[in-house]
Structure 1
Amino acid sequence: MMLILALTACSTPMDARKDAAFQSYGHAADRPTQRPMRSMSSFSDSLQCMDRLMRDAQIPTTLITSKQIPDFSTRVPVATKDMVITALLQMSRLSNAFRYVDYEVDIARQDTVQNLTNILLNNNQIQLQRPALYVSGSVAFVDQNVLNNRFDAGTSGARFETGYSQNRTVTIIGLELHLGDFRTRTMIPGLDSANEVIISNGGQGLDLAGRIRDYGWQFNVGRDYAQGSGAAVRTLVELAMIELTGKWARVPYWQCLTMEQTHPNFQRQLRDWYDEGNIGIHEALIRQSLVSKGYLSSSNVQPPSLTTFRTALSKFQADNGMVVTGTVDFSTYERALRDYVALNAQGQLIRYGWLSTSADPKALSANEKLSPTISEKVYGVNELPRSIDLQIENILMGRKQFEVGEQVFLSLTVSRQSHLACYLSNASGQVMRLLPNPVTPQAQISANQAIRLPDWMSPNPGYVIETSGAGTEGLLCMATDKDVSNELSEPLNGPALRPLTGIRDLPDVLALYNRALGTEGYTSATVTWDVSARKAPTTSSATAAPSAAASTKR
């Protein structure tokens, strides 16, 4: 009878309403327990280095595209082409060196954007620009289990048995990329890259079993590691793009490949040092780093619970391309202290002027002084103050002479996140504010971003800078830690893109800023150019923008 009742109960459907309290935890349990992190490889810092090199070399904007990067082995199912695009974009944040042309002709791969593009092209409602370069290549090979090491051992007795196993495997991934001339569809000799990287898997296991009188017992423990193919391919792609673009642009790209951050154990070693300290040490080390980098003043070093520290930390994370959290974690620790790591004579990573268990700067030993960091930065020593890099970007780089009626194109970057205000003066003694303006009302810029004046990559930039009369013209840009428009005097708060009342030249603007903020409250940069009367008309056309995108005046 009891058996029949039990079987009947098992056949009756369960009442989901009784689990309502248990089910209510589902929404929270479905969320990840770790914060997202930016995907970075050993060459992510090298991409930023290349960006600065190409800006210093004033490489003009070049249109580029890419073929599909297939993997015929089908063993590395990763989005290699998208990694190529990401690497190109990261090398163009400050320099504007490359613009990627996104167009797909394979019908099987076309999406909504590509289909709309085809429709608009057929109706002459859109115009594509021809790329100058294209990337070609593939995952050349994936050799699995090149090395395979196994070890198994065990013992057996009347009441006790043991077993131990260990295995290790090595796989090699090869990537080949080339740079081609799109106009002739030919590969450019010398612009090729063929690299390979090793990834490995391994594991250990221990089994114990036995009997105690009439009862048996069993125990098993193991640990494994598997190095993924995605991170390996990203490393190969970024290395290849540094080599290809560096050779093409004829810049000393090898300087970016000798940084300490390219060491394969860089992040692992930083993680070991991170684990040696506690949360208080981590916060103190990062605070000192923020002071050195100018995000905090020495008098405002506060615990992380205060708004000042969290705001400075958020700006630092944004400037370094991280996921902004405003909290102290390993990713922030690594980004804040990476400049203070050097390689000694034995090729080992060492801390340069700091300890993992103390926030106080450490005196450098004689051996450490022989191994300075590539960045030439020392923990606890303040770096250079904020700077503005302001350049003329017309096709003839470094140009300072213009004729009346020509257009001028400029760009600027800042060394850390700032609020910008830019003022333009002409030869007739008029000054107007370019930034902020109705098109760009929030002129805030990160350290990894370039501002174009005007935005020549936009078909409707909102304004143009056109020389108006013979004489000297100039542009003055001011960077501040916060929006100071409410602290400035009335003449500077006039309408944008119109002459400011009572201001005759750029020194007048500087004087008003000094009066409102003091000499330490801002950073400024000025660039000037000479304008001469227009010569007799020739067959030449109007001044061209740095790229093929046309600027329109309104």
Structure 2
Amino acid sequence: MKAWAVWAVSLGLLAAGCVSNPETAVVVAQPKTPISKTLTSFSQAKACMDRLLAQYGKRDIRLTSDGVPDRTGTVAAGTRDMMIAALGEMSERSGAFTFVDIDLQSTVHWIATNTPGSGFVPPRYYIRGSISQVDRNVTADSNSASISLPFLSVGVAEDQVTSVVTVDLQVGDLTTRQVLRGVTTTNTITVVSRGDGASADGLINQGAISINLDSTTTEGTHQALRTLIDYSLIELMGKFTKVPYSRCLELRSTRPTAMAENRAAFDRLTEAQQILLIQRALIASGEYRGEATGVLSRTFRDRLNYAKSVRNLIPNGRIDFELFNILANQGYVDISAPPPVVPNIDVAAPKIEPTPIDADGGRDPIGLELLHPKGALRPGDKVVFDVISRQPAQLYCYYEFQESGRKQVVRVLPNRFRDESKISFSNPVKFPSSEDGFDIVLGHAGSEEAVGCIAVQGEYPENKRPRVLKEPDLTPLASASGLAEVVDQHLLADQLRSSVKVLRYVVQ
């Protein structure tokens, strides 16, 4: 047999040996990477917004949107679904936003022409906007170097390309079709693509050798867009509801590099060290009462699943980066500390103090707390509220009730009997107190009432003093038809130095 025939037979046998078994196709097609929750650097900030909206009594704000269309025609993404998901995460506790889903060509036109009597309750507001700008390859940098010798050539190269994406959002009033003044946002994110490579070519005994190594890292444009929409909605809804959303943007997790730093710290740990750190973190957060051993026991697995579920993660009983990332951002894991030593015997875990920035509510300059009366609330009962704070402040409290089917709100503190209302850690406030000449008496069964307090660091300047403070106390306010409008007036006067707590309850 000739040489070429031998080579042909050999190659044929080799090719036959590489044919895959068709029965394994179903297994081969299965993804090998675990499912994970979609995270952005603003996931924790959205939870923070949810807490703030609850504290400030914002709820059931009905709105809709046609999404964020791409006016540039370069980024096709499900922006409406991204928006619904972000608003949902900001409403889990507070119930602040109710998104009205109308899947038609034009939401605003459909609502405007919808006939009454169908049972459909239209939203009051809508979010509009667009991906207004996409500039690809804004900068393109390339660096390379090579060395050539008679028998060898070696070269290296590095490239970087940047693109920018801009989103503009506004809130409009559906009844007037007017965009609300000051409730707009425009933000830009930069997407970076990096590549590096090395090559070597040589000649050995007249046989050519060529080696090429390339690595490319590209930040996802659509993931960048989701991050941009998350941030833009936090800013837009913060302006719309007048809550101090900047507190949530101060969280460590909103730093662009925070997630990458947490990932690097997680990857440096062994599996036992990962378990040990998560155990210590959940002990510190009060979610696990066992001991930190570095062993994934059945009891700890149950608490692990609970910790994941309350953080909207997949409760799969496994230690993963998603939970580690959140606990690090909450201050329960110190990524700058050396890897822990896994004990050979069970030892009690040290308590880890959380960072001053609270993961749920963001930075609170005053630390205001409003305590609800205990026990069942019955018609005709007299109730007393306690207010405490960590920092000195001026305190203003209001009571919302219904009378003859109409909502009324009155200022109960300060009042004509107590014109000075200062609060501090050593000087908590109780109202109505014995020195006040009034009582708060609960109305009829089924009625909903509310009490809200605003604490402010310092006095209001006269030119910024809220209108509700210029009206008589213990008398229905004329400049506000509800507690939400009262809170808005105070926040417009001094948002960043204010803390707000609102309690709503139903008379039994």
Length-normalised TM-score, structure 1: 0.59
Which of the numbers 320, 332, 336 marks the counterpart of 2:327? 336
Aligned AA (2:309)? A
Conserved in 2, the CA contact under 8 Å of 1:303 and 1:309? no
Query: 1:372 and 1:289, CA in 2 relative to 1: closer, same or farther beyond 3 A?
Result: closer
How far, CA to CA, are the matches of 1:310 and 1:101 in structure 2?
38
Letter of the 1:46 partner, please give it. A
What is the CA distance between 1:60 and its match in structure 2?
A: 3.1
**1:158 CA displacement:** 3.0
Larger mean CA deviation between 19-28 and 179-188 belongs to 19-28
What SS class does the counterpart of residue 136 from structure 1 fall into?
strand
**Against the structure 1 CA distance between its residues 55 and 228, is the aligned structure 2 distance closer, same or farther, given a 3 Å change threshold?**
same
1:45-89 residue CA offsets vs partner (Å, 9 max, x unmatched): 111111111111111301111023221322222211211111111
What's 2:308 paired with? 317
Cα distance in structure 1, aligned partners of 2:205 and 2:288? 69
| Offset at residue 37 of structure 1 (A) | 1.0
3-state secondary structure, aligned to 2:49: helix
Rounded Cα–Cα distance in structure 2 between residues aligned with 1:263 and 1:36 = 25
Deviation at 1:96, TM superposition (A): 0.9
Q: Deviations over 1:222-252 (max 9, x none)?
A: 1111011112111111111111111111111
Q: Is the CA contact (8 Å cut-off) linking 2:284 and 2:332 kept in structure 1?
A: no
1:283-362 mapped onto 2 (5 Å cutoff): 283-298=275-290, 301=292, 304-340=295-331, 351=335, 355-358=338-341
Contact 2:63–2:97 (Cα < 8 Å) also in 1: yes
Q: CA deviation at 1:214?
A: 2.5
Q: Which amino acid aligns with 2:281?
A: S
3-state SS of 1:38 partner: coil
* CA distance in structure 1 between the aligned counterparts of 2:142 and 2:8, rounded to whole angstroms: 52
1:153 maps to what in 2?
145
| Distance verdict in 2 for CA 1:271–1:356, change over 3 Å | farther
The answer for the alignment partner of 1:222 in structure 2 is 214
Number of equivalences: 376
Structure 1 residues 306 and 372: alpha-carbon distance in aligned structure 2, compared to 1, 3 A threshold:
closer
- Distance of aligned partners of 1:241 and 1:399 in 2 relative to their CA distance in 1, 3 Å threshold: same
Residue from 232, 235, 258 that aligns with 2:227: 235
Report which structure shows greater RCO (CA 8 Å, sep ≥6).
2
Does 1:375 pair with 2:367?
no
Deviates more, 1:155-164 or 1:219-228: 155-164
- 1:285-305 alpha-carbon deviations (Å, 9 max, x no partner): 101111122221145x56544
Residues of 2 paired with 1:530 and 1:95: CA distance?
20
Structure 1 window deviating more from structure 2 (52-61 vs 331-340): it is 331-340
Deviations 1:318-341 (A, max 9, x none): 111112211112222212332117
Aligned residue for 2:33, secondary structure, equals: coil
Q: Judge conservation of contact 1:200–1:226 (CA < 8 Å) in 2.
A: yes
1:63 is matched with: 62
Q: Percent identity?
A: 23
Question: What CA distance in whole angstroms lies between the structure 1 residues aligned with 2:446 and 2:204?
Answer: 98
Structure 2 distance, partners of 1:186, 1:212, is 76
The 3-state SS of whatever aligns with 2:137 is strand
| Contact 1:402-1:529 at 8 Å conserved across structures | no
The amino acid that maps onto 2:276 is A
Match of 1:37 in 2: 36
Distance in 2 (alpha carbons) for counterparts of 1:272 and 1:215: 42
Using the alignment, how far apart are the partners of 2:18 and 2:189 within structure 1? 51
Determine the structure 2 residue equivalent to 1:86: 85
- What one-letter code is carried by the residue in structure 2 that aligns with 1:375? D
- For 2:190 and 2:117, locate their aligned partners in 1 and report how far apart those are by CA, in whole Å: 49
Quick one: distance in 2 between partners of 1:388 and 1:28?
57
Aligned AA for 1:374? I
Match of 1:24 in 2: 23
Structure 2 partner of 1:133: 125
Does residue 266 of the first structure (1) align with residue 258 of the second (2)?
Answer: yes
- Consecutive unaligned residues of structure 2, counting only runs of 5 or more, are 343-347, 361-370, 378-397, 407-442, 449-502
List per-residue Cα deviations over 1:349-368 (Å, max 9, x = no partner). x758x54445797899xxxx
The RMSD of aligned alpha carbons is: 4.3
SS in 2 for 1:24: helix
Aligned mates of 2:67, 2:505 — CA distance in 1: 45
Question: What amino acid does structure 1 have at the position aligned with 2:27?
Answer: A
**In the TM superposition, what is the alpha-carbon distance from 1:21 to its structure 2 partner?**
7.6
Would you say the 8 A contact 2:251–2:359 is kept in 1? Answer: no
- Cα 1:290–1:140 change in 2 (3 A) is same
1:256 paired to 2:248: yes
Q: Is the 8 A contact 1:260 1:373 kept in 2?
A: no
Gaps of 5+ in 1: 110-116, 343-349, 378-386, 407-468, 475-525, 532-554
Q: 1:489-517, CA deviations, whole angstroms, 9 ceiling, x for partnerless residues?
A: xxxxxxxxxxxxxxxxxxxxxxxxxxxxx
SS of equivalent to 1:147:
strand
Deviation at 1:19, TM superposition (A): 9.1
Partner amino acid, structure 2, of 1:72: R
| Matches of 1:362 and 1:191, distance apart in 2 | 46
* Matching residue's letter, 1:178: Q
Map residues 513-552 of structure 1 onto 2, 5 A cutoff. none
How far apart are the structure 1 equivalents of 2:402 and 2:121? 29
- CA offset at residue 276 of structure 1? 2.6
- Superposed counterparts of 1:166-177, under 5 Å: 166-177=158-169
Would the aligned equivalents of 1:132 and 1:183 in 2 still touch at CA under 8 Å? yes
Q: Is the 8 A contact 1:341 1:351 kept in 2?
A: no
Shift of the 160–325 alpha-carbon distance from structure 1 to 2, 3 Å rule, reads same
User: Contact 1:472–1:528 (CA<8 Å) still a contact in 2?
Assistant: no
| DSSP 3-state at the match of 2:21 | helix
- Counterparts of 1:389 and 1:103, CA distance in 2: 42
1:428-460: CA deviations, max 9, x gaps? xxxxxxxxxxxxxxxxxxxxxxxxxxxxxxxxx
